[in-house]
Structure 1
Amino acid sequence: MKKRLNGILTLLLVLAVQLTFAQNLQVTGAVTDADGMPLPGVNVIVRGTNTGATTDFDGKYTVNATQGQVLVFSFVGYVTQNVTVGAQSVINVSLTEDAAQLDEVIVLGYSTRGVEEVTGSSVQIGGEDIAEAPMVSVDQALQGKVAGLQVTTSSGTPGSAQDIRIRGQSSLTAGNEPLYVIDGVPVTNSNQAGSANVSSLNPLAAINSQDIASITVLKDASATAAYGARGSNGVIVVTTKRGRSGDTQFNFTSQVGIQNDAYNKRDVLTGAQRLELLGEALVNSYGANGTSGNFGFTPENAIPLAVQFGVLPQGTQNYDGTDYDWSGLIKNEDALLQNYTFSATGGDELSSFYASVGYNKTEATVIGAAFERLNGAFNFSRKMRENMNFSTSLNVSNTIQNPILEQGSFFSNPFITRYLMNPFNNPFDEEGNPRRGGLQFGSLHNTLYVTENNIARNMLTRALSNTRFDWEFFENLTFRNTFSLDWQVTDYKNYQNRYEGDSRFVNGSIAASDNKALNLVYQGGLNYNFKVGQDHNFDVTGLFEYQKNQNQYLFGYGNNFPADGLTNIASASAEFDAFSSFTDWYNVSYLGLLNYNFAGKYVLDATIRREGSSRFGPGNRFGTFGSVGTAWNVHREDFMRGSVFNTLRLRASYGVTGNNAVGLNAYQALLGYGADYSNNGGATPTQFGNADLTWEKGETFDVGFTFGVFENRLTGSFAYYNRRTYDLLQSVPLSRTTGFANQDQNLGEMTNKGIEAELAFDVVRTTDFSWNISGNVATVDNEVTVLAVGADGNDIDPLAGSVYKTTRVGLPAGTWFMRTWAGVDTQTGLPTWFVNGRDGEVTSNYNAAERVEQGVGALPTYSGGLGTRLQFRGFFAEADVYFQGGHKIYEQFAQFYLRTNNFTLGTYNGAAELMDRWQQPGDVTNVPAVNYARNDNFFNTSTRHLYDGDFVRLRNVAVGYNLPSTFAQSIGISGLTLTLRGTNLATWVKDDGLLLDPETQAIGYTTLTTPPVETYTLGINVKF
């Protein structure tokens, strides 16, 4: 008690002294952000008085206060900070960004809106989330971040294009990829690889993720209608970093790590296993009970007798049991990843700049493939006059990718080597060098030699320039001009050596191409925002846009090199070939945008776009598209005061968009001039044409709400959408009397509908400790409702002839359509399928089984992500999970490595799964008996190789530390962050039979490509 009284007396004495000696102070200081950059325009208020100030351009302020009073520092986008005045006369403050407020501004490309002014469905991802992911291409970092956005890795080869779908599939034959808009200007993002057979090259890989300020995904018609036809499949808006006024601040970021395959459980037969199965298969064909006759084969003499009869090559019986691990030899274990960026930003009251230079070098997890990028960015803005603003940006990069033959069953595809190389083959000669001149067993190439002696290179140089000039004629009426140029030059070279591989028998070959793509966009328009009375707020924009796209392609080929070391066409001596082409297209658009709100409560948003495309005939080039959306900010109503809701918004929108992603000149009747008529040039009809060909159209209805409760500790959103696509572009059969097989026509209709939900909860939110959990989920239900009708009165299946899929009314587009697997007959060891394709009677006659719809397609029907982040003072930890499912994927190359006859056991190699084969009556297994000379059709298309595609992937885990600013400043820097990050660390699949990576292309086939990668990186960020 005595101690407590002494403490109280001491406290009262201190307070008395403070009150007695309290005095008026002229407090000065500077306000900066977390990076140490001055913040001009910060409000500094002395709480309880009218005294206040605003920081100047250098972030400095002066205010009169007395000891004990509280200074309140507030600035849009930053957390308000309260500081009690003591005896000091200088108070410096650092404000931290308020993530909740930063989300209040949505970049829509043509415009920027406050979140409460947006009526469409859009999600914005901050640049810090993009920069932290150690991905070569910025679009990879979006996986699991946005409800309704499905991102799958079509190949793990660095720099490859990604498969991206927003709210499902909207077209049968036209494009389904979203539009990319960089700094407000639409760009093209098509694969720039020099050949369709090698790794794809994504133009977005030319952009350094460290230069990204934000990425916004626009999903519904209200959000995308401004982009017309190009935005029919959704829009991804990329905004690069701009300069910030103040003293020049520098930033250096380093990411170094290693990569390996994320998921691959498909093993192949070892030499010993293959030898065991080979002998068994020979006996089952030529033994006492052989299906091809009794030739005296027994387990003891099967191999030498097969060699004697010429069934097997002579060297088979000389195999010494050495296990040549071809699968391991093609791997590049712990592939190195390096990414470095150095940037600077600063400016004065009139100008600001941002400049950066970056370098990335990423090895693939397979030998022969690598990626290297050198890039530079410069953004500059200048207030030329009080009513004139100028800005320009330039992003230039040089990207070199060493592609590999993938996607197909090419003999030099290293993944063909992994799964089909005969393990009896010794890859090395007597001197330990990779063997050349053909391997002893089979026809596959020695990938080790080919990789070392061939040259494969995609080199992309990309220059992306964007210049904008705004002239305010009078208050709030601004004339805006934007000119953008995207110049992409791709140089492709494919030299194949003289001794091993595809060009062994032509003494070496060289193929080279040069592709130049120019995308030029001009936008000019007027923007006027004004108020009528106190509550009526209008923002009106009228815009004209012109887009020109040109592509020039030049190709050359030659073979038969006289000596080693010669790799150019000029040194070849035979089989010369050359080809060149030029293509172009144009878009012209007239755009009107209206945004109105009443007192911030009721919002109306309308868009109309008249767009013309050179892809259609003169009478159908123009289409009119538009949208209307409305929103009600319920939380701004008087009756919501005192409620738990900090935010409650209801919104709805409807709109019509078009799709012009058809082949160039598809509407025209064409002649081809490649004919040779008695050594004279000739022309032949090549396309029937259709002058009535016009836009695919899609109408979308979207409704949803957004909420935030308990001081926005719990926030979320929900949306329902229904998109109907009609006038589908479809290839329709023609009468043979026309001389053509088919014609493109506008026939057909399909729908996509579903829900999207997002939720975030701050479990703990204090000054020193915070814990947040967030998640999103989306569904999509695709259904074809109308198809073109043929002369026989039946619907025309666009996928007729496919052995895998069908497209029919009432089913999802591209529904799996095949025979249904019934298992292995326990008495005979033969594969069986259901006769009626469903159930009941089974047959071992593959052709007697009926093909049926399997009820699902290749695109996931649900997808989403979960994430959590903890932060304690300077320490932080985070984790993200991505999931998708409701679809099936097909293991297409099972047709090669899951054969039970001589294809696998005599020539190539098979999957280790063959060891589970049937051997005697009563065996229960999913693999038939091996039989050297019998074709049991086990490998052919059926649900045996069709798997549930559901999977969950631990996408991202990171731990790190932010050095406190006081310690950082003591060593001469303004900030230091260390981060240890892992990506794709674990994968769970629903179907145990799915042994290859579940991330597939949108078409749904597992392919022989580089799988997604598991990455571990150490990141260092220094600010000074």
Structure 2
Amino acid sequence: MRLKFKWIYALVMAMSIQFAFAQEQTIKGVVSDAMGSIPGVNVNVKGTKNSTQTNFDGEYTIKAKTGDVLVFTFVGMQNTTATVGTTSKINVTMKEEGKQLEEVVILGYVSKGKNEVTGSVKQISGDILKGVPVVSVDQALQGKVAGLQISQSSGTPGSVQDIRIRGVGSVSASNQPLYVIDGVPVINDAFAASDNVSTLSPLASIASSDIESMTVLKDASATSAYGARGSNGVIIITTKKGKSGKTVFNLNTSIGFQNNAVKGQTPLTGEQRKELYLDAVYNTYGADNGFTRANAETFLLGTAQGLNIDNNFAGLQYWDGKEGNWPELLQNKDAILRSYDISASGGDEKSTFNVSLGYNKTEGTVIGSEFRRLTAKIGMSRKLTENVKFSTNNSFADSKQNGVLEGGGFFSNPHLARYFMTPWANPYNADGSLNITDIQDYTGVPNTLYVVKNNLIENDLARIISNNTLEWRISDRFKYKSVFGIDYNLATFHQYDNPIHGDGANVNGDAQQTVSRNLNLVAQNSLNYNYRYKLHSFDATALFEYQKNTFSQLGAYGENFASEGLQYVDNVVRNISVNGSYDDWLNVSYLALLNYNYNGKYVLDFTYRKEGSSRFAPGKRFGDFWSVGTAWNINKEGFMADGIFSELKLRGSVGSSGNNAIDLNQYQTLLAYNTNYAGDPTIYPSTYGNLDLQWEKNRTIDLGVDFAILNNRISGSLGVYNKKTSDLLQDVPLSRTSGFTTVSSNVGEIVNKGIEADLTFNVIQSNNFNWNVSTNYAFNDNEVTKLAKDPAGNDINIATGTKITKVGEAVGTWNMRKWAGVDSANGNPLWYVNGKDGATTSNYNEAQIAIQGKSLPTYTGGVSTHLDFKGVFFDASVYFAGGNKVFEDWASYTQSSGTRTTVNYNGVEALLDRWQNPGDITDVPKMDLTSTGNNSAATSTRFLYDGDYIRIKDLTLGYSFNKEVLEKISLDGLTLSVRGTNLFTFVKDSRLKYDPEVRADGFTRLSTPPVKSVTFAMNFKF
């Protein structure tokens, strides 16, 4: 049977018979299973004290006497014995042991056996994550954990991801989970000097090959130990450590290419745009001037000068009939991605080490974007004495991201420009140079090819993480542990706009440089006590934690360069400005963990955390958070003996946590000093303040069952939860007579409740062929149950132009007019008067705004499978999500029936299905030359789509060479594989052309979309 367990050395002593008159001899042999030799086997000669030998690499040589009994042991295999005879060679074959070692689950502050866990926890092995070709390791969790929703905010390599665990529990505070690396909480805020450029995630500084496991904590029993920071869930990252034994080297190399996962809307070609433009001219002026659709061009170029039409006719008179082909030119097809990682680990009984070095270079799918990362890691542990152990894990990463302007209407963004640039504009002049003159005559969009080549947007993040631990086993019952962690981030940002063409042309070039420094220090000191009396087991931990975070930023901006080649702020001469900021916050916590276990059957956990945050006023800074969890391992009861269940555990928990992730100093009444009056410093009130501001609180109830039957052939879990957020941190409107618009207050409630299920089925288990299938599913219902009220006692709804948060609905529910189609008689747009159904109107302002669906997915899940046959293996995984609606944010530009699509910018192919003649049945209004096309593309459900989709996340085919081949090439392991990621995406709503994996807010944006890739990898072990 192929072994997949972590190798743990064990030596089992057995009775032996030894003949005094026997002569000692050298015995040779091979220890194997059905698949080949077993490395790491322990061999003991019972009765001969000095002949015990361990850790053979399959083949062994040992001194023994005739009649001696050899005992062979290995984790996951049945003990095997052999008696020494007169022959000098003994070969043994070990059989798999049905009883396996219990899985250890990493919970951050503590580790527990799987049967001792009372909370909702999912642990993913690093072996599953390491081959996924993503820059940010959190992306690899998508579809593998029930209740975990991951969506890409941008496909630009290295960008921050939107992650939600069990829905949205806050309106004004953060909904992002806490990240813990090797037991120490770290910072994962995006480092970017502006909201208008690509973000750079600190998690992108971690190489997936360095990860041992990732654990997702979801319920109160699992997360309450982290207090406020765990209110949105916790993701624990455990990096690889050294293991005793010979030094093992691993070399992983991969190269591949990637493209956009979904094609998106197709921009109009030159001929299509001409057709729509002439149609708009006819619909607007034909009836009064007597021309037809067929001779609209002749009329336009000959007699239309007296009409209210722009003089160059949207650039049509300059068009030579050649396609600009902008979508192809602005896309980086088959963008290359490559990575190289080498590591070494080993050690002895007193010391272990692990070192690694990695390099990753990933190109974006739009021109000009790229990510490069260099990582280095060194970890070691040392027994200073028999009772004192020191360990340290240190990593360094330097990440560079060549980003793009995105998140807004930036024409220099290549992905946005591919939709907005008119196809009548030729990107090149006749001599082959880039066209930066004629383009300005009939379009407001710069030549993006020139801008990308001559402008600069660069994020650089240097990150050092150092976690150091000292453990002192005071006695068999007491253990002291001290942890000190450093997370240091130094981010630099540089943006340069050239003085010739584009955003910097009007100011003769501009530059911005920013340096940001973030230092996060964590100190933990804990005392653990454990006591066992007969069948009773007690474990208690008391811990004090101190976390201090400081952030400082210094930036400068200026305009007007003397020469085109200058790019830095020190060379600007006009509108020079300097800005700087500093902030810090402090958390201190007192934690108590208590665990009681009776004979492995009954488990009781209690957690209490008192946490203080500098974000609140004195007297309001400390919050009390707790949880109680219990588990009953029913399969260990006597009445379940010899039953089909190898695991059957009922678990439940209830507890509370908090959220303090709001802007600093919101409780204070503040003055600002950043303006002047007639050149003199000026002070003005900036923050209203609220001394009663306190923790946002979460109370979670969780019930579940974990099971495994038929010797773990089928295993899984089923759970339900109810999470209530109270004292909601919310910006409440103030009377304008106060001089302020809002004040931060604790008002409101949100409830998330749902179901989560996991199931794994080992369909076939044999020596040569194995097949397993696993799936997970989660359903979450989000509802606002309470909000702040105005003086009249009415709820103060939180409304924007497209959404509303109100009692009885989910957070950020879509709120807009409902599209009713096109009037077949005249081609005008229609909306429902009452916002639901019935009577229609062609006057946009007469239609009512109404609730139109949820922006948050209500269900998510995944399916994966693994097959292996004599070294050949195949893996596949699928992710799905839905129950929400997605809004096409830029449709008012790309699908307008007015001048935005045929005069100012460009439209998409969907407009070709427009109304043309009375009686036409279509969903696209007639084209015209009004500025808005009768509001046909204004906010409405016309561009609101069902968000349900299924994505083939991974397809992997590979081969692991057998031992006979490896011996010939002097390797311990060699695996070749090819992996496809996000290769296929299926959407429920055929109208949704953009990628359905949108940000947590539910908008499609003209940012760099998610990608699909094909990667070839080679993994060496020696």
Cα 1:545/1:98, change in 2 over 3 Å: farther
**Structure 2 equivalent of residue 721 of structure 1:** 721
Contact 2:351–2:382 (Cα < 8 Å) also in 1: yes
**Residue in structure 1 matched with residue 452 of structure 2 by the alignment:** 451
Shift of 1:678: 2.7
Alignment-derived partner of residue 606 in structure 2: 606
Q: Secondary structure at the match of 1:941?
A: coil
* Displacement of 1:430: 2.4
Distance 1:50 1:944, change over 3 A: farther
* Equivalent residue letter for 2:893: F
Q: Which residue of 2 aligns with 1:469?
A: 470
Aligned length: 993
Shift of 1:300: 3.3
Q: Pick closer, same or farther for the CA change 1:89–1:561 going to 2, 3 Å.
A: farther
- CA-to-partner distance for each residue in 1:283-319, whole Å, 9 max, x for gaps? 111112589x999984532345446757234352242
1:949 is matched with which residue?
947
Q: Which amino acid aligns with 1:881?
A: V
Matched residue SS, 2:474:
strand
Quick check: 1:283–1:290 contact (8 Å CA) kept in 2?
Answer: no
Please give the secondary structure, in 1, of the residue aligned with 2:298.
Answer: coil
Task: Give matches, 1:29-108, under 5 Å.
Answer: 39=40, 42=42, 56=54, 72-75=72-75, 78-80=76-78, 89=88, 104-108=103-107
Worse-superposed segment, 133-142 or 304-313: 304-313
- Summarize deviations over 1:569-609 as a string: whole Å, max 9, x none: 11111110100000100000000001110000000011000
Q: CA deviation at 1:103?
A: 6.9
Task: Output one character per residue of 1:493-536: Cα deviation in whole Å (capped at 9) or x when no partner.
Answer: 0011111111111111110000000000000010111112x111
Match of 1:228 in 2: 227
CA-CA distance at 1:750 after TM superposition = 1.0
Distance 1:95 1:670, change over 3 A: farther
SS at match of 1:193: coil
> Per the alignment, do residues 52 and 765 of structure 1 end up closer, same or farther by CA in structure 2, a change over 3 Å counting?
farther
Q: What are the within-5 Å matches in structure 2 for residues 812-961 of structure 1?
A: 812-854=810-852, 856-933=853-930, 935-961=933-959
SS at match of 2:902: helix
The structural deviation recorded for 1:696 is 0.4
Partner of 1:383: 383
Give, in angstroms, the shift of residue 441 of structure 1: 2.1
Structure 1 residues 623, 558: closer, same or farther in 2, change over 3 A? same
Looking at structure 2, the residues matched to 406 and 865 of structure 1 have their Cα atoms a distance apart, in angstroms, of: 30
TM-score, normalised on structure 1? 0.93
Aligned to 2:661: 661
Residues 427-446 of structure 1: pairs in structure 2 closer than 5 A: 427-437=427-437, 439-446=440-447
| CA gap 1:376/1:36 in 2 versus in 1, 3 angstroms | farther
Superposed displacement of residue 445, structure 1:
1.2
Matched with 1:413 is 413
- Give the Cα–Cα distance (whole angstroms) in 2 for the partners of residues 62 and 561 of structure 1: 79
Q: Distance in 2 between matches of 1:423 and 1:360?
A: 36
CA deviation vs aligned residue, 1:933-986 (integer Å, no higher than 9, x gap) = 263111111111000000000000001000112321221110000011000010
Aligned to 1:132, the other structure's residue is in SS state: coil
Partner of 2:17: none
Task: Give the 5 Å matches for 1:530-545.
Answer: 530-532=531-533, 534-545=534-545
Task: Return the alpha-carbon distance in structure 1 between the equivalents of residues 176 and 441 of structure 2.
Answer: 45
- Once the two structures are TM-superposed, the CA of residue 73 in structure 1 deviates from its matched residue by 2.6
Q: Deviations over 1:354-380 (max 9, x none)?
A: 000000000011000000001100010
Structure 1, 213-222 or 302-311: larger mean CA deviation: 302-311
SS in 1 for 2:287: coil
Asked if the contact 2:43–2:54 (Cα under 8 Å) also holds between the matched residues in 1, the reply is no
Distance 1:93 1:518 in 2: 57
How far apart in 2 are the matches of 1:1006 and 1:964? 48
Alpha-carbon separation, structure 2, partners of 1:889 and 1:250: 47
- Pairing of 1:249-264 with structure 2 (within 5 A): 249-264=248-263
Structure 2 portions without partners, runs of 5+: 1-21
Whether the 8 Å CA contact 2:65–2:84 is kept in 1: the answer is: no
Aligned to 2:169: 170
Q: Tell me the residue number matched to 2:5.
A: none
How many Å apart are 1:476 and its aligned residue? 2.9
> Which deviates more from structure 2 when the two are superposed, residues 967-976 or residues 752-761?
967-976
> Which amino acid in structure 2 is aligned with residue 334 of structure 1?
D
Contact 1:44–1:52 (8 Å) recurs in 2? no
Identity of aligned residues (%): 47
Give 1:386-785 correspondences, 5 Å limit.
386-437=386-437, 439-532=440-533, 534-785=534-785
> After superposition, where does 1:57-456 map in structure 2 within 5 Å?
72-75=72-75, 78-80=76-78, 89=88, 104-288=103-287, 298=296, 300-306=298-304, 309=307, 311-314=309-312, 315-437=315-437, 439-456=440-457
Change (3 A) 1:258 1:587: same
Change in 2 beyond 3 A, CA 1:573/1:609: same
Greater mean alpha carbon deviation, residues 772-781 or residues 668-677: 668-677
CA distance in 2, matches of 1:51, 1:635: 41
Q: What is the alpha-carbon distance in structure 2 between the residues aligned to residue 95 and residue 303 of structure 1?
A: 89
Distance 1:752 1:25, change over 3 A: farther
C-alpha deviation, 1:857, in angstroms = 1.7
Q: Deviations over 1:520-560 (max 9, x none)?
A: 0000010111112x111111100000000000100101111
Match of 1:14 in 2: none
The answer to whether the 8 A contact 2:832-2:838 is kept is yes
Cα offsets for 1:130-155 (capped at 9, x unmatched): 10101111101000000000111111
The aligned amino acid for 2:903 is G
* Matched-pair contact (CA < 8 Å) for 1:370–1:402: yes
SS in 2 for 1:682: strand
Is the Cα–Cα contact under 8 Å of residues 278 and 293 in structure 2 kept in the other structure?
no
Q: Which amino acid aligns with 1:990?
A: K
Question: Which stretch shows the higher mean deviation, 97-106 or 951-960?
Answer: 97-106
Alpha-carbon contact 1:425-1:439 (below 8 Å) kept: no
Distance 2:850 2:97 in 1: 55
* Contact 1:660 1:696 (C-alpha < 8 Å) held by counterparts: yes
Which letter does structure 2 place at the counterpart of 1:168? G
**Structure 1, unpaired ranges of 5+:** 1-21
Q: Any conservation in 1 of the 2:45–2:68 contact (CA below 8 Å)?
A: no
Counterpart Cα distance in 2 of 1:717 and 1:788: 39
Inter-CA distance 295–377: structure 2 relative to 1 (3 Å threshold)? closer
Shift of residue 63, structure 1, vs aligned partner: 8.8
Q: Structure 1 residues 1005 and 35, CA, compared in 2 at 3 Å: closer, same or farther? A: farther
Q: Is the 8 A contact 1:43 1:52 kept in 2?
A: no
2:551 aligned partner, one-letter code: N
Whichever residue aligns with residue 125 of structure 2, its letter is G
Contact kept, 8 Å, 1:35 with 1:1023, in 2: the verdict is: no
How far 1:96 sits from its partner (Å)? 12
The range that moved more, 575-584 or 934-943, is 934-943
Q: Residue 737 of structure 1: CA displacement? A: 2.7
Residue 62 of structure 1: how far off its partner (Å):
5.5
Cα distance, 1:996–1:67 mapped onto 2, change above 3 Å: farther
CA shift, 1:906, in A, is: 1.1
Distance verdict in 2 for CA 1:939–1:249, change over 3 Å:
same
For the Cα contact (< 8 Å) 1:876–1:961, is it kept in 2?
yes
In structure 2, relative to structure 1, the CA distance for the partners of 1:749 and 1:862 (3 Å cut) is same
Deviation at 1:45, TM superposition (A): 9.7
Q: 1:723 to 1:64 in 2, by over 3 A?
A: farther
Deviations 1:994-1013 (A, max 9, x none): 00000000000000111111
Q: Tell me the TM-score normalised to structure 2 length.
A: 0.93
CA contact (8 A) 2:274 2:316 kept: no
Q: Does structure 2 retain, via aligned residues, the 8 Å contact 1:717–1:759? A: yes
* Amino acid aligned to 1:191: A
What RMSD in Å do the two structures reach over aligned CA positions?
Answer: 2.8
| Counterpart-to-counterpart distance in 2, 1:572 and 1:289 | 56
